[in-house]
Structure 1
Amino acid sequence: MLMDARKVLIFDTTLRDGEKVPGLVLSLNEKVRIAKQIVKLDVDVLEVGFPGASEGEFEAAKEIVATVSGPKLVCLARPTSKKDFEAA
């Protein structure tokens, strides 16, 4: 697939990288609310998190996928973990 070299794609990682701030823990509802706000920014790709990391991350990613539309939705998965691929 050829792409226009002048097109800039916005790949937002807020929902995964944003939680790396020391002491920050987002609830499922907060993650969904943030995802909806990010979609309003017209990003091309939204990383919904790392569903293989925990049950809470899995549930949040599942809820975001069911709730938002517009950008391509992706998630992080480790290539060495079958659990990660199943969660993704």
Structure 2
Amino acid sequence: MTKPIRPHRNFYGRLKGKSLKPNQKTYLAEDLTALSPGPVSWQDNPERTPLDLNALFGPRPVWLEIGFGGGEHMVHQAAQNPDTGLI
């Protein structure tokens, strides 16, 4: 009897993330908490109305950064593009 052949599976990325360094934990707990608008509860938005990006950013273009790093790229982009709203 032979073993069934498993299909080849590509995986891009990490199966398990690295542990946070102490300064990263502090950054998440203190700095980002102070900047966060906080969660939106069901009572605050029962109809789940989408955010009004014009109210948040005005007529500026808005970019959505999707990344898995420490935010260095987004900070660089924000510095280079001050007239663009970044999420």
TM class, shorter-chain normalised? Answer: under 0.3
Normalised TM-score (structure 2) = 0.26
Bigger proportion of residues as helix? 1
Greater length-normalized contact order (CA 8 Å, ≥ 6 residues apart): 1
Bigger proportion of residues as strand? 1
Q: Which has the larger radius of gyration?
A: 2
